[in-house]
Structure formats: structure tokens, C-alpha cells
Amino acid sequence: MCEPKPAPGARDSGPRRLKPAQLLFEPPEALGDPEHFFDLESIEDPRELLARSTELALAFRAAADRATEFQAVAAAQLADPRRFDRLPAAVIAERAEWSEDYAKKMVEFGRDLLRSSRTVE
């Protein structure tokens, strides 16, 4: 498998040394409480609160980067000229709620990801 690349426009913060926190689903009763967020509101020690909230922020960034990579791969596959049902960038942009220019960049990014994964295999 290839090493994930940052999403287009993402800040390059260098290699991540911390393992992102595990994202756990909120219990259903917590979803109704707007003040409840991964039980952070119950942490009273500021050091512990900073550590846990930092772990969550890193985990969400990693998840967002990964999801963006999957979006790019899907966009590249949908725009593949070898597909009889390929979609133009404008249609991909509309479906993903992107601008057409961003869709074109994501298609290219996805093609790069697909190429690099083929060379590693």
C-alpha cells in the first residue's frame, strides 16, 4: 500500500509522530446535548483536557485527510476516459458540492494516488 499523500491545499506539517486518538461514536443520549463532545466537558484537569482534545483534533484531521483521498480516487475513477459511463468534471463537482476547478484538481490527485498505488504493488 502506498503512503497517503496530503489532500490538495492541506498544510504539510511533516511526519506525524503521535498516533491519533481512536474515534468513538457518541452514545445516543449524548447526541441531544449540544454541550457534550466526546466527554471532554467532564474533564476538569486542563492538562488532561488539552491532551485529549489534541488527540481528537489529530484524529479528525487524519480522518479528513483519508476521506479526501477516497474522494479523489472516486473522482478519478468516475472521470476515467476508459469508462463508458464516465462523468465530466462539472457533474462530479455538482455531486460532491465542489467547484468545477476543484473537481479537476481532485481527479488529478486521485489519478496520482491510483498510479502510485499501482507502482507499489
The structural domains of the chain, with segments of one domain joined by +, span: 46-119
Q: What percent of the chain is modeled with pLDDT above 90?
A: 60
CB atoms within 10 A of CB 5: 16
CA distance 99 to 111: 18
CA distance 114 to 4: 11
- Tell whether the model's pLDDT for residue 31 goes beyond 60: no
Work out the average pLDDT over 7-30. Answer: 51
Q: Residue length, the chain? A: 121
Q: Which three cell numbers stand for residue 91?
A: 457533474
3-class secondary structure, 111 = helix
Residue 16 vs residue 63, higher pLDDT: 63
pLDDT digits (tens, 9 = 90+) for 34-78: 677 888 888 899 999 999 999 999 999 999 999 999 999 999 999
- Tell whether the model's pLDDT for residue 5 goes beyond 60: no
- Tell whether the model's pLDDT for residue 6 goes beyond 60: no
Which region among 15-24, 29-38, 60-69 has the lowest average model confidence (pLDDT)?
15-24
